[in-house]
Structure 1
């Protein structure tokens, strides 16, 4: 096969669209140590992509050598792959780009008195000449795929292609906040500039705006040789796509189904199904524990200990969401002397707290029976700074109206009660470790090979939770004992789902997830319903217990439990000047 034809075939894997060219050229500039990068594009990148940097540049010999396939200065041996710190390493990008475009390279390093210009068209070298220029490299790619109409037909409109390459620019800018990026697209007259900063938050604010960053929650997690940090959207807030999810592994932007799934798992009871959280996550890990050579375009990485990474991300996300304390009522709303939820009702001593004619709802609002609720949840310490509240009443027999120092709060009583009961039940489950109930007749369950392998790895952890299984070989397991809370379940079906879940999720805690799903269904049936009338004592008690929850912002299904109207918003709605309560709720 001719070399030119081989390069053009390889280009289909490395250069899928104009955004692929932008990605490769930006990564080359960053690997060259550039502190300033300029990007110009036209026609969605098909007409022109121009990347200029002030990096180390190349001499004439290297400028010609970089056009050869698999020529790279970033790897000297196979062992270098296990300690890789550069973005590029395959040596394929430049020759494949040059094989499907009109390609111009201008470069100079500090050792050379003059620069070098190389021109290539569709893989054919046209000219090499000396030029005067500063240190650094400029690459122009014109008429991308012009000689390959079949490839052109698979491209989208210029606007769509522009959006794809814009994302690659954003990824590179987030990865390297210490580099200044200037860019101009299409007929844009001036430059858009993201100045260099050593602070990730500042770079995110420059790209997305301070409001976008200010609405996110910080995230931190660390284990031996592994850490995750970043920012997350608040509970209950999501988007219909994953467009605002950005993952970086050792600064490298990556696409990872596993990381996306772990992120979603962390939001399991904080976000409605069908919505995806906003997140910017940075994973730091020993390069020897990952394989970046999974895809020719280097979009993916493979983790050697995938379960450990999964577990760290899930735990860090949950911890970040649980530390979120939206609203507290340290002094303004009190349960009027009610010390603990009563066994028979929600009022003091289980008695009828509602005045005559107020429609007591003892049956639907009573806590779950004692064997499912061993103890009430413990309230977290209310944050200082005061967001005192006063219950005003109930709107439409559903929404509790609360006046606070910053505005008006509307609390969905059904969603709020679901959250309260859910956390009580979950606390009871988490505290039930060791409470195993032996079965008179063991239950034998046979699983597919993949599910059986995943379940077998977790047998010690499951045993500590009270679920004792004995591996019998051939994918079969004997269920010997179970936690008392699972005794009434279809154990065969439960173990089958548990094995599939462990195999799919690649992380710990799947048994907690399975039980949590069951608890969510119980909660939904037990919680106070819309149009159930609460006494003032019941409503106040519900508010206190809601904001003592680890995650008071959403019900177990991800719906919001409350919304707010700040004084600033009310002032704007009524066309008044001034803002006595501040312009934001937070």
Structure 2
């Protein structure tokens, strides 16, 4: 029987290794930026075309490479970072395995230019699919420039799995931000399709965060600083009132390396206990320094997961540090939630003598219940002067009663006295009616109150005669011939809005309403770039843009189906959905826009619906093309037949 095991050719082995190291253009960006940092660069430029699918070029001013090193760096497991196995537990650099450039060269066209400072000329190498096509001496500046073109040109299946340009750009920007946040002492420049996205100058950490995420971030940051024997924690957390519904701006760095750790994230969230809603997530930029021999960073190909020796101690320290900073900077709540800080005694006056208490004077003759209303005496005087002797005694007794009544009732009687009643009392013939008739201020008010209550009860009875009922402000129960149907009001409304938006965007010509005053909304530079990339699709949906800047966008018109107050909510939801890869690579942004609009504008759980609103929602749902599921695949209703209901009680 012949042997069946054989060694793979180098180019095949490189392609297999590339599958672990290079998953998308962002993976190439990460490796090249880290190599530039390890080379001691003080200025790094990143140039992209078509989200990195056509070109990824990194230019640095580091120490460069010799001719031999330039050729050897594309070999597998060729590295200058480690020499022996023990070095794996004392790593201070970004890369160390020597697989990045070899994997990249196996699946792309690579052009390398490099020169050391003490050399007059540099070296240029061109590689296509692990094969060196040319090597020559060139004149170039100090440092290294490496261009990766036509990524996955020899693996079309992998290229087809790439997402749309906007999504791939988002991943590239994420990697760029992670590297830039780690090294504020290095200037970074990012260009995409000849458009400048970031131009980050050398600065401190706070300025670097503000430069990336916008000027409004400066007032939201709470500094963190704690030093112990086993860990040093520094950085910033964002104030609780600026927490987000999505997990976005959450960054952990361990020894200047970005990591992902759900365990440490839980420690930070726990420190915000009592300050956040259950659906909100805190933002933070935390930098941890630990001894290199207490961590293992070689457990994942992308090196974003780290194993700690003493996780429980790190958890306790991190939680206590964040909680202490929130309390130190008056972010954590105090026991007296109604306390006004403006009424606190200033520190400079806390030890001064209390001034003498001013005297209090009281007017003993003041009576707050005494009323002086002229209208009480005027009718009586006029009537008594014109009445006859035969009615004088009768009127006198009535007048005494009326006087006592007004004395007891006070001035509130005028609020309920009918104007016709008061005017009739000025005549002689109606003087007795003023006392003896059944019409009185109290009876008038009572009859009005009872009538009003009857109207309220009648309207309540009318609402109970409908065919739909709202349950716990979340579900609608409607009666059908075969039983009942239980409808999730929020998911059902999402389906209705989704089909309406999709039809308005694609089938009908979307109508816009011009804003009287244009609205300016602030975003980060990467979000502005993403909005600009889908600008034409948004305009097809009814948006009108007046101006784009690096940190804001000016909107002059919006679709007629939304209001001005919903613009920010809709755009933020749209950006989150694009970042989370809601659309498929073959979908246009119309679909994801319709889904985002529907999710943003749909009625939420806890909203009280009137009987008419309930019936409209039920009718609109079952008029949809696909009423059974929401735009995100969740069921919108459940039908219970009479047999199923009977079986519940007949067990």
What's the secondary structure of 2:242's corresponding residue?
Answer: coil
* Residue 89 (1) aligns with residue 96 (2): yes
1:311 matched residue in structure 2: 316
* Residue 225 (1) aligns with residue 226 (2): no
What's the secondary structure of 1:229's corresponding residue?
Answer: strand
Q: How does 1:3-42 map to 2 (within 5 A)?
A: 3-42=10-49
- Find 1:133's aligned residue among 126, 140, 157: 140
Aligned length: 332
- Find 1:49's aligned residue among 31, 45, 56: 56
What's the secondary structure of 2:58's corresponding residue?
Answer: strand
- Please state how far the C-alpha of 1:244 moved relative to its aligned partner: 0.4
What's the secondary structure of 2:343's corresponding residue?
Answer: coil
Using the TM superposition, name which of 305-314 and 262-271 deviates more.
Answer: 262-271
Change (3 A) 1:147 1:267: same
Q: Provide the rounded CA distance (Å) in 2 between the counterparts of 1:297 and 1:290.
A: 16
* Residue 249 (1) aligns with residue 260 (2): no
What's the secondary structure of 1:105's corresponding residue?
Answer: strand
Q: Provide the rounded CA distance (Å) in 1 between the counterparts of 2:114 and 2:194.
A: 27
2:295 matched residue in structure 1: 290
Q: Provide the rounded CA distance (Å) in 1 between the counterparts of 2:342 and 2:188.
A: 50
1:579 matched residue in structure 2: none
- Find 2:208's aligned residue among 195, 200, 203: 203
Q: How does 1:420-499 map to 2 (within 5 A)?
A: none
CA deviation digits over 1:539-582, x for unaligned, max 9? xxxxxxxxxxxxxxxxxxxxxxxxxxxxxxxxxxxxxxxxxxxx
Tell me if structure 2 keeps the 8 A contact 1:236–1:272. Answer: no
1:98 matched residue in structure 2: 105
Q: Provide the rounded CA distance (Å) in 1 between the counterparts of 2:132 and 2:341.
A: 75
Change (3 A) 1:307 1:133: same
* Residue 151 (1) aligns with residue 158 (2): yes
Q: How does 1:564-579 map to 2 (within 5 A)?
A: none
1:183 matched residue in structure 2: 190
- Please state how far the C-alpha of 1:187 moved relative to its aligned partner: 4.0
1:117 matched residue in structure 2: 124
1:194 matched residue in structure 2: 200
CA deviation digits over 1:258-307, x for unaligned, max 9? 22222222223221123211100000111111111111121221111111
Q: Provide the rounded CA distance (Å) in 2 between the counterparts of 1:187 and 1:55.
A: 24
Tell me if structure 1 keeps the 8 A contact 2:220–2:242. Answer: no
Tell me if structure 1 keeps the 8 A contact 2:60–2:143. Answer: yes
- Please state how far the C-alpha of 1:210 moved relative to its aligned partner: 2.7
* Residue 268 (1) aligns with residue 273 (2): yes
- Please state how far the C-alpha of 1:179 moved relative to its aligned partner: 0.7
Q: Provide the rounded CA distance (Å) in 2 between the counterparts of 1:161 and 1:268.
A: 35
**Rg: which structure is higher?**
2
What's the secondary structure of 1:298's corresponding residue?
Answer: coil
- Please state how far the C-alpha of 1:61 moved relative to its aligned partner: 0.3
Change (3 A) 1:154 1:261: farther
Change (3 A) 1:306 1:116: same
1:581 matched residue in structure 2: none
1:329 matched residue in structure 2: 340
- Please state how far the C-alpha of 1:202 moved relative to its aligned partner: 1.3
1:70 matched residue in structure 2: 77
Q: Provide the rounded CA distance (Å) in 2 between the counterparts of 1:162 and 1:331.
A: 47
CA deviation digits over 1:113-146, x for unaligned, max 9? 3111111111221111111112100010011012
2:284 matched residue in structure 1: 279
Change (3 A) 1:77 1:181: same
Q: Provide the rounded CA distance (Å) in 2 between the counterparts of 1:54 and 1:114.
A: 15
What's the secondary structure of 1:206's corresponding residue?
Answer: helix
Change (3 A) 1:95 1:331: closer
Change (3 A) 1:276 1:113: same
- Please state how far the C-alpha of 1:236 moved relative to its aligned partner: 4.2
- Please state how far the C-alpha of 1:229 moved relative to its aligned partner: 1.2
1:60 matched residue in structure 2: 67
Tell me if structure 2 keeps the 8 A contact 1:222–1:312. Answer: no
Unaligned runs of 5+ in 1: 335-586
- Please state how far the C-alpha of 1:108 moved relative to its aligned partner: 1.0
- Please state how far the C-alpha of 1:209 moved relative to its aligned partner: 2.2
Q: Provide the rounded CA distance (Å) in 2 between the counterparts of 1:191 and 1:171.
A: 15
- Find 1:237's aligned residue among 231, 236, 242: 242
1:495 matched residue in structure 2: none
2:325 matched residue in structure 1: 320
Change (3 A) 1:3 1:330: closer
Higher helix share: 2
- Please state how far the C-alpha of 1:206 moved relative to its aligned partner: 1.5
1:167 matched residue in structure 2: 174
What's the secondary structure of 1:76's corresponding residue?
Answer: coil
CA deviation digits over 1:148-188, x for unaligned, max 9? 12112221101110011011111111111111111211241
What's the secondary structure of 1:219's corresponding residue?
Answer: strand
Using the TM superposition, name which of 291-300 and 161-170 deviates more.
Answer: 291-300
TM-score (ref. length: structure 1): 0.55
Tell me if structure 2 keeps the 8 A contact 1:245–1:278. Answer: yes
Tell me if structure 1 keeps the 8 A contact 2:25–2:53. Answer: yes
CA deviation digits over 1:327-359, x for unaligned, max 9? 96356389xxxxxxxxxxxxxxxxxxxxxxxxx
Tell me if structure 1 keeps the 8 A contact 2:258–2:304. Answer: yes
- Please state how far the C-alpha of 1:205 moved relative to its aligned partner: 1.6
Q: Provide the rounded CA distance (Å) in 2 between the counterparts of 1:17 and 1:62.
A: 26
Q: Provide the rounded CA distance (Å) in 2 between the counterparts of 1:52 and 1:289.
A: 34
Unaligned runs of 5+ in 2: 1-7, 332-336, 346-651
CA deviation digits over 1:396-443, x for unaligned, max 9? xxxxxxxxxxxxxxxxxxxxxxxxxxxxxxxxxxxxxxxxxxxxxxxx
- Please state how far the C-alpha of 1:213 moved relative to its aligned partner: 2.5
Q: Provide the rounded CA distance (Å) in 2 between the counterparts of 1:314 and 1:153.
A: 44
Change (3 A) 1:330 1:310: closer
* Residue 302 (1) aligns with residue 313 (2): no
Q: Provide the rounded CA distance (Å) in 2 between the counterparts of 1:269 and 1:136.
A: 51
Q: Provide the rounded CA distance (Å) in 2 between the counterparts of 1:264 and 1:131.
A: 54
What's the secondary structure of 2:79's corresponding residue?
Answer: coil
Using the TM superposition, name which of 241-250 and 58-67 deviates more.
Answer: 241-250
